[in-house]
Chains A and B, each alone.
Chain A
Amino acid sequence: MPSEYKLVLKHVDQAGYSNDIKCYQKHGGYKTMKKVFKLKAKKTKDGVTTPQEIIRKEVLVSGLRGRGGAGFSAGMKWSFVDRKSGKPIYLICNADESEPGTFKDRQVMYKDPHQLIEGMVISCYANDVNLAYIYIRGEFPEGAKILNRAIAEAHKAGYLGKGICGTKFNLDIHVHRGAGAYICGEETGLIESLEGKRPYPRIKPPYFPAVLGLYMCPTIVNNVETLCNVRHVMEIGGTAYSELGTPGNTGTRIVSLSGQVKRPGYYEIEVGKATLGDLIFGKNFGQGLLDGRKLQAIIPGGSSSKVFREGESFKIKTKDKAGKEIEKKIDLLDIPYDFDTLMKCGSMSGSSAIIVIDDSVDIVEALGNLSDFYAHESCGQCTPCREGSLWMSKALKRMRSGQARKEDADYLKNIAHKIQGRTICAFGEACAWPVLSFVDKFRDKFDERGAEDEARLAESQMKEGVN
């Protein structure tokens, strides 16, 4: 039976574990950082490999993928950084954690902040970064305080500042609090916000952060959990890390489980080693739905990911043991919780937040709730998303107030199609996908609603003698 595998959350919630530097050090904290500082340049056939290159190689070998949403290889992202520009390179920790359903990064920041700082020091050392930022969500004032205290402690201990641990390496980390907007989690919106501007995401190309990021300098943006994992990669080595989880989906991941399950919470698993069914029903995880309820739907990777309907199954291409490509049928609850399989099944693991929806939930209401969120959070910069997100939410409001029409299912999909793939940032997809998937998979519910309301309207018009 699959169970948790605690790497990042190892000490979080442990009795007696506190978030100060002493406690962290007592539990082996900052040892990996010191080890990394001792790495020596290696002579190779083609010249010299610097310690920085060694770390970057380890991260690449580890297969670590971004934990913020897109699941992009961290090592690859680092390899895109323009190191020849002559400009400073910045690193930004994305601690905006705003995707509905997601509550994992805050666990580390509140309860084990030094782990993040150690991960950041290593990542900055690896990338010749001397100034890093933690961009923390505005709603986490306490988190910002904790991080600032931890940073002060690290400074005092000589782990931040000038000549860290006797090396020539300098690093400062600043905590920057957002003002409470979801779009500040999108990396280029975040960068604009950090520069003191309205968080309007930038067009890519040309503004890829690795080349033209913060203050138009090369910039690395990584999620909190990604940066924590860098520490573990360097602690156990890239190859050992890559053996955790499943091929191509390595390491561990913290899953936020919410909705109508008995035991909602955050669970760290080896990626792909537990299925959706395990996570929702397993003894070590959600322990099933509330009594008397039946499963209706699962949002597998944060509110932006496409919804699954109970009972769905999928045909996916995969490789058998001999490495031959085969097609395989897989039932919803058997989907291993990883990056690639969820994608093959038409959704994504996103921010690894599972939202369980039982049969007590009105699907049109649920989608309306999500759409209201996106209409409120669209930055409004680009036409399709600005107009479309509000349009969808208004349509769903109308549908929820007894004025649904039979054609509303298509009407909604039509709006969503005007948005996805046509916007500046991935928020376009984030607001279109729930609509597209809810309507596609629960078409009957939307049609029913339209038919009911139209029938009622016709009846009342008959009564009033209106024709």
Chain B
Amino acid sequence: MGVNVKEQNVETVAVKVDGRSIEVPRTTPNWEGKPEPTTVLQACKHAGIEIPHYCYHPKLPVVGNCRMCLVHVGMPGRPGPDGKQPTNEDGTTKIFPMQLPYEPQTPRGVIGCATAIMPGMEIYASSPETKEMRESVLESLLINHPLDCSICDQAGECKLQEYSYDHGQAESGFEEFKVHKPKAVDLGPRITLDAERCILCTRCIRFTKDVVGDDSLGIVNRGGYNTIATFPGESFNNNYTLNTVDICPVGALTSDDFRFQMRVWFLKETKSLCTDCGSGCNVTIGSRENKMYRYEPRQNDAVNGHWMCDSGRLNYKWIGREDRLSSLKGLEGKTTWPTVLKDVSDHLANADKGSVAIIASARQTNEELHLLTKLAKHIDAVTDSVPRKGKADNLLMIEDRNTNTTGAQILGITGKRVGSKLSSIKKGIESGELKTLIVFGEDVTKHGIDTKLLKKVTLIVSDILHNETTKAADFLLPGCAHAEKRGTFTNVKGRVQKFMKALEPPGDALPEWEFLHEIVHNVVGLEDFKTIEGLFNQMAGEVKAFKDAQLSWAKLGDHGLDVEL
């Protein structure tokens, strides 16, 4: 908005928007990031004016089908034989408002989303002519629309509602019967279509075809009967289908998971990250009364663009599970945090050098891992973590299903080959050399260290859900899901990103950094930090990769910063 492009040394074009002169960059990146002539819609955005649009999406090819972005514009005349543009009496360049070639008394609009700006162009973004075009497109979109907002999931975040309010007219002259189309169509395992609500903007088709590379969505029938459909007998089932629900400007595509669960205006929104693979897609958590209802991708062009995968998006139910770990366990069974932290600290402070091993999780935050390395250094503990692999796809999802492998490597918790020290840890326990094992967020019985071996050590465990390792724990410290705390992860490409707290953890559970901090304070004797900001900044000042990138909690912003790998 209102950027001073002159200073950025980019080539600019001078246009007028609603009478106001403005210089805008001559080109703007298109959906693939390639520079293309700046459009009327983009120029208006620079002027702080939103041109209403349905089919246009910055990350999809432009097709110009909804016509919602029609705007009336004026252009300087063509140069005459003398090479000069026609002028007004006062010598200024004469501007010719566009008109229908075959009906000069009628103004002609251009589509803002696909019309390149020209030097001297005047954009009448708010003129009566433009308003009339918008009203008429909206009216056309509404004549066959069911107008069932009261039971529509999109209500509250529906562009049809919004634009009708901002740009529509109260009444329509429509006197005929509406077209009826299929409702509650099962497009695929996660998506339901209401074809009557669809405005046929083809965003879903273009996303699926051009971004995902899947041809499974298309349109059948003709004209006013056009309907979104899959091939007969085929299912809309790639790992990105739910993004179509996000970009569908109306309530035509709904998520089976979220359908009829909650009115969107009740949802509290929290900036967070997906933890399902090392890509670290940015998300927004929608929650209400300490219950999480959905993830939505949050735009971050350096990471996930506008998108996220379905498996990541739907993997949140565990957070609210009834059987979450929520009680502390100490030497005498049920206990309290002060007691258990004192006991654990005492135990570690008295442990022989080299007699402790730490198996941390590469799904823990940078801050937690940082505290663990401090502890490890002090007591000369061996550390590693557990690899977690899946299948990568061609878009966002990568093989590494650990959220923070890169962070764990930068911080030195694990090496290039994650888990390479697990066998020597096992041997250490077998030989009796290792007497204490600290495990965070992993079930080590699945990685070669079985229950029998676990009996041989003092076992300090922190986790979120029950498993064989938590069962065997001598000290059990319930931790938090990322949605219940703050922290940072470093994604596979070295982007350090932070996430915020949306929910309160259950029972005794505490953010791991809080109790780890206490233990480190007790054992190592470091100065204490009251906040995650302080902890992060302290880490950023100590860890080389973070220091080189001059990171600070504040500088990370909403979209994170890259560190050199």
Q: Which residues of A contact B (CB under 8 A)?
A: 181, 198, 200, 203, 205-206, 375-391, 394-395, 398, 405, 411, 414, 417-418, 420-424, 429
Contacts and interface: CB of A to CB of B under 8 A. Distances in A.
Nearest to A392: B176
Contact of A421 (B62, B68, B109, B218): B109
B120 interface: no
A377 B64 CA distance: 20
B197 to A, nearest CB: 14
B64 A421 contact: no
Task: Select the residue from B136, B219, B226 with max chain A CB neighbours within 10 A.
Answer: B136
B218 A388 contact: no
Nearest to B100: A421
B62 A382 contact: no
A377 B199 CA distance: 19
B338 interface: no
22 contacts: A181-B222, A198-B218, A200-B63, A376-B223, A380-B222, A380-B223, A380-B224, A381-B63, A382-B66, A383-B65, A383-B67, A383-B68, A383-B140, A386-B200, A387-B141, A387-B143, A387-B224, A388-B140, A389-B224, A390-B223, A420-B100, A421-B100
Contacts of B102: 429
A337 to B, nearest CB: 19
Contacts, number: 109
A424 B116 contact: no
Interface of B: 62-68, 70, 100, 102-103, 106, 108-109, 111, 114-116, 133, 136-137, 139-141, 143-144, 173-177, 179, 199-200, 218-219, 221-226
A387 B70 CA distance: 16
Contacts of B223: 375-380, 385-386, 389-390
Given A205-B114, A386-B140, 6 more contacts: A181-B222, A200-B63, A203-B111, A380-B223, A395-B175, A405-B175
B144 A384 contact: no
A384 B175 contact: no
A418 B139 contact: yes
A7 B532 CA distance: 87
A405 B224 CA distance: 24
Contact of B176 (A198, A205, A386, A391): A391
Given A198-B218, A421-B108, A203 B62 contact: yes
A287 B67 CA distance: 47
Contacts of A390: 179, 223-225
B338 to A, nearest CB: 66
A388 B116 CA distance: 27
A391 B114 contact: no
B219 A198 contact: yes
Interface of B (DSSP majority class): loop
Contact of A205 (B103, B116, B226): B116
Contacts of B141: 383, 387
Q: Which 8 A-B pairs have the closest CB atoms?
A: A390-B224, A378-B223, A380-B226, A387-B140, A394-B176, A203-B64, A418-B136, A380-B223
A387 B174 CA distance: 11
Nearest to B142: A387
Given A375-B223, A383-B141, A390-B223, A422 B70 contact: yes
Contacts of A376: 222-223
Contacts of A381: 63, 65, 200
A205 B223 CA distance: 23
A380 B103 CA distance: 25
Contacts of B108: 421
A198 to B, nearest CB: 6
A375 B226 CA distance: 12
A382 B133 CA distance: 14
A384 B137 contact: yes
A203 B173 contact: no
Contacts of B70: 422
A422 B175 contact: no
A376 B108 CA distance: 26
A308 to B, nearest CB: 16
Contact of B140 (A181, A394, A405, A418): A418
Contacts of A414: 173
Contacts of B200: 380-381, 383, 386
A394 B67 CA distance: 22
A391 B174 contact: yes
Nearest to A405: B175
Nearest to B109: A422
A200 B55 CA distance: 15
Contact of A383 (B137, B173, B177, B221): B137
A379 B223 CA distance: 5
B63 A203 contact: yes
Contact of A380 (B100, B173, B176, B219): B219
A63 to B, nearest CB: 21
A381 B100 CA distance: 21
Nearest to B63: A203
A416 to B, nearest CB: 11
A422 B65 CA distance: 10
A253 B35 CA distance: 45
Contacts of A383: 65-68, 137, 140-141, 199-200
